[in-house]
Amino acid sequence: MGFSTDAIHVGQEPDPSTGSIVAPIYQTSTYVQPALGENKGYDYARTNHPNRKALERTIAKLEGGTAAYVFTSGMAAIDCVFRLLRPGDHTILSRAVYGGVYRLSTQFLVQLGLEFSFTDTSCLETIQRDLRPNTKMIYVETPTNPTMIVTDIAAVAKLAREKNITLVVDNTFMSPYLQLPLSHGAHIVVHSMTKYLNGHSDCVGGAVILSRKEDAEKIYFLQRSAGAGLAPMDCFLVSRGIKTLAVRMERHDANGMAVAKHLEGHAKVKHVIYPGLAAHPQHAVAKKQQRGFGAMLSFDVGSLEAARSVLNNVKICSLAESLGGVETLISLPALMTHASMPKDVREQIGITDGLIRLSVGIEDVEDIIADLDYALAKI
Ligand SMILES: Cc1ncc(COP(=O)(O)O)c(C=O)c1O
């Protein structure tokens, strides 16, 4: 079946007991057992529940995984993946990962004896240079948040497989509609479902999708033991959001390209970072491994003062953390999503004080552009 058909039907079957075309929300903590030692597939909602199982089936299908598990947030999902490691194991991460991943790894997981180093994963030679005898995982965000650096997943997967290293890809910015990391050889995919998968900015959630059965068994053990599985109502919201993922992504993609092209020629903009532009350093890689270029872009207006002026004058674009919703969101990574990164680290990787991140929504694109033009004119 095609992507949209799977998104609408896999895990989204009508309720067998009533025929309801939308599965009910199983808002219950426990399940009555007909006799000791017997149940109808569920016993306790931390372990599992029908809404979670349904959503996990949908996501596993869309990403092409053998299994998927959904969590209370993207960070809970990512944390669970790092728990596959043992003290003394080393992980290479993309240099400009999401600030929360930077914080979790450098401020907490190191205390458990895990080692992390940050590398420009768009360059295979630098990954090779930074490999250690104890490297067990390569964690790639592509494109990165908010610097939009693209990593060649197939090339890194080949290296990882040669060295028996697990390759994890954060596919949040693309969604499975625009990019399928497992098909390029990655072993594990993670998502902040808070973003495009849900798509409506009304719930927080995360997902881990596995290609190997042995990883899947460990992740499920951790999910049910540590208890960070997603609750029924939130699963329902993401399942509903996924039904329109394909059409939303088509529109996001078209709007993203139109806004990027417009800003590229704008007198008040120093530069635009969008993998869909021919000037982007990894444009060819993005074109090869993605179905489209998406709706995330960053642009530099030169200074914090100029950025502040833009952020305070937009009216359609909402000044907010997060991304991937139907509404256009605008933010300043240096003071918002990446504030937990030291300033020198931020500057080394290109997160300047004047770098504005835009999550282009699916409003009429002329309105988004007019709003940005108005705010840019105020600089
Ligand atoms: C690329 C990326 N990965 C992971 C996360 C973490 O997800 P959550 O906020 O759902 O915990 C975010 C959050 O913004 C993100 O942008």
Model confidence pLDDT, tens digit, residues 109-131: 999 999 999 999 999 999 999 99
Q: What are phi and psi of 271, to 5 degrees?
A: -160, 155
Q: Among 53-67, 328-342, 352-366, name the one with the lowest average pLDDT.
A: 328-342
Distance of CA 80 to CAs 77, 190, 218, 233, Å?
A: 5, 10, 9, 22
Ligand 1 centroid from CA 272, angstroms: 22
CATH 3.40.640.10 boundaries in the chain: 3-242
Q: Which residues contact 41 (CB under 8 A, 6 or more apart)?
A: none
In short, whether 73's Cβ falls inside 6 Å of ligand 1 is yes
Judged against a pLDDT cut of 90, whether residue 93 lies above it is answered with yes
* pLDDT tens column, 226-244: 999 999 999 999 999 999 9
In a 13 Å sphere around the CA of 378, the CA atoms on its Cβ side amount to: 15
- Strand ordering across the sheet containing 67-71: 67-71, 206-210, 188-192, 166-170, 135-141, 90-94, 115-119
Q: Which CATH superfamily is domain 245-377 in?
A: Aspartate Aminotransferase, domain 1 (3.90.1150.10)
Cβ proximity of 334 and 353 under 8 Å: yes
Mean pLDDT of the chain: 97
The topology under which CATH files domain 3-242 is Aspartate Aminotransferase; domain 2 (3.40.640)
| Positions marked active-site | 46, 98, 170, 195
pLDDT at 137: 98
Considering only CA atoms, which of 144, 38, 128, 52 is closest in space to residue 92?
A: 128
In short, whether 239's Cβ falls inside 6 Å of ligand 1 is no
State pTM to two decimals.
0.97
Tokens of 18: 């009533």
CATH 3.90.1150.10 boundaries in the chain: 245-377
Percent of the chain exceeding pLDDT 90 equals 94
The interaxial angle of helices 365-377 and 245-264, nearest 10 deg, is 40
* pLDDT tens column, 326-347: 999 999 999 998 887 888 888 8
pLDDT at 342: 87
Judged against a pLDDT cut of 90, whether residue 56 lies above it is answered with yes
pLDDT at 340: 78
pLDDT at 71: 98
What number is the average pLDDT over the span 136-162? 97
Judged against a pLDDT cut of 90, whether residue 349 lies above it is answered with no
Q: Which residues contact 278 (CB under 8 A, 6 or more apart)?
A: none
Cβ proximity of 58 and 207 under 8 Å: no
Ligand 1 atom index nearest CA of 75: 11
β-bridge partners, 330: 319, 358
Distance of alpha carbon 236 from alpha carbon 265, whole angstroms: 42
Ligand 1 atom index nearest CA of 173: 1
What number is the average pLDDT over the span 67-96? 97
Which residue type, as a one-letter code, is found at position 12?
Answer: Q
Ligand 1 pocket test target in 71, 72, 73, 75 with most atoms within 8 Å of CB: 75
In short, whether 98's Cβ falls inside 6 Å of ligand 1 is yes
Tokens of 131: 């490999």
Ligand 1 centroid from CA 170, angstroms: 9
Q: Among 202-216, 327-341, 361-375, name the one with the lowest average pLDDT.
A: 327-341
What number is the average pLDDT over the span 165-183? 98
Judged against a pLDDT cut of 90, whether residue 348 lies above it is answered with no
The interaxial angle of helices 74-82 and 213-222, nearest 10 deg, is 120
In short, whether 75's Cβ falls inside 6 Å of ligand 1 is yes
Ligand 1 centroid from CA 73, angstroms: 8
Considering only CA atoms, which of 144, 139, 142 is closest in space to residue 152?
A: 142
Which string of DSSP letters, residue by residue, matches 77-131?
HHHHHHTTS-TT-EEEEETT--HHHHHIIIIIGGGGT-EEEEE-TT-HHHHHHH-
pLDDT at 341: 81
Tokens 């029924």 appear where? 232
Distance of alpha carbon 154 from alpha carbon 11, whole angstroms: 29
pLDDT at 345: 85
Ligand 1 centroid from CA 232, angstroms: 20
Ligand 1 pocket test target in 194, 203, 234, 357 with most atoms within 8 Å of CB: 194
Bridge pairing between strands 318-319 and 329-331? parallel
Ligand 1 centroid from CA 107, angstroms: 17
Bridge pairing between strands 90-94 and 135-141? parallel
